[in-house]
Amino acid sequence: MTILTGDCRAVMPAHAPFDLILADPPYGDTSLAWDRRVDGWLPLARAALAPAGSLWVFGSLRCFMATADQFADAGLRLAQEIVWEKQNGTGFHADRFKRVHELAVQFYPAETPWRDIYNDVQTTPDATARTVRRKQRPPHTGHIDAGHYVSLDGGPRLMRSVIYVRNAHRHAIHPTEKPSALLEILIRTSCPEGGLVGDWFTGSGAAGEACRLSGRRYLGCEIDARMADRARARIAQVLPFHDGGAS
């Protein structure tokens, strides 16, 4: 588990390939001094992916709409997105809905078929008992044999794309900190066990904590030296920390 201090554009490519890249860059939605979109990192991240790797990026809808062409220009294709629902949020305007969600969007190399991308579909143990039978085939499907499936009470079902996880309000060490429980879901979905996760905008180090809990290797990069030290201290509470490269 290693966190490097510096600009991810200069530091991270040398440590490729990454089985998964996590990125929580500034969204550019506010007038705060630190909230400025970072140019040029996407092509570098794309080139740093392993053959079966993908990229999860956090952002607002406004941010993704403004930067959509940059993902296409970098040779990335959209795979899916999740909505992170939190218990409280921000209200930038008094005449608009209070925003209590953020997006995380998965991208993968455009030239690689989706079937070749590592993808471990996550499930939740909260299915309800029911049997569904098809009495007659729908007219628009052509010939499909009759069939049925049984769902056992408490059995697995696909995790839904809207995921509620409480944010780190009141105990966060970074202003845009993401909960490690949410990051762990993305890591388990898109990085094989023992694989290397590249966290290009480390912030609080929550992704490092999630990697430790899920059995993945971790390399982060944080441009703020003071925040990098705090992130290292956080991860050190979970696993002894050392410098000198990803492990």
Q: Which domain CATH number covers 177?
A: 3.40.50.150
pLDDT of 147: 55
pLDDT of 244: 47
CB 195 within 8 Å of CB 10? no
Query: Domain total for the chain?
Result: 2
Cα gap 157→46, rounded to integer Å: 32
> Is residue 218 scored above 80 in pLDDT?
yes
> Is residue 8 scored above 90 in pLDDT?
yes
Q: Are residues 94 and 70 in the same domain?
A: yes
Q: Are residues 78 and 198 in the same domain?
A: yes
173-178: average pLDDT: 73
Note the residue count of the chain: 247
101-109: average pLDDT: 96
Q: Is residue 241 part of a domain?
A: no
pLDDT of 204: 83
Mean pLDDT, the chain, as a whole number? 85
Cα gap 185→230, rounded to integer Å: 23
pLDDT of 177: 74
What Å distances lie between residue 103 and 1, 58, 62, 106, 147, CA to CA?
A: 26, 6, 10, 10, 36
Q: Are residues 139 and 191 in the same domain?
A: no
Q: Are residues 15 and 103 in the same domain?
A: yes
Q: Is residue 242 part of a domain?
A: no
Q: How many CB atoms lie within 10 A of CB 227?
A: 19
172-191: average pLDDT: 88
> Is residue 42 scored above 80 in pLDDT?
yes
pLDDT of 233: 87
DSSP state of 46: H
Q: Are residues 67 and 137 in the same domain?
A: no
Q: Are residues 146 and 179 in the same domain?
A: no
Boundaries of domain holding 130: 123-158
Q: Are residues 22 and 130 in the same domain?
A: no
> Is residue 22 scored above 50 in pLDDT?
yes
Q: Which range has highest mean pLDDT (21-25, 177-181, 241-245)?
A: 21-25
pLDDT of 28: 74
pLDDT of 234: 86
pLDDT of 130: 58
Q: Are residues 154 and 87 in the same domain?
A: no
Selected residue with higher pLDDT from 39 and 117: 117
What Å distances lie between residue 196 and 12, 47, 241, CA to CA?
A: 12, 15, 16
CB 215 within 8 Å of CB 193? yes
> Is residue 161 scored above 70 in pLDDT?
yes
> Is residue 13 scored above 60 in pLDDT?
yes
pLDDT of 241: 43
Q: State how beta strands 49-59 and 157-158 pair.
A: unpaired
Domain boundary among 158, 183, 205: 158
Q: Which range has highest mean pLDDT (150-154, 169-173, 242-246)?
A: 169-173
Q: Are residues 74 and 140 in the same domain?
A: no
pTM of the model: 0.82
Contacts of 22 (CB under 8 A, 6+ apart): 55, 56, 183, 186, 187, 197, 198, 199, 200, 207
Residue 32 CA, distance from chain mean position: 24
46-74: average pLDDT: 95
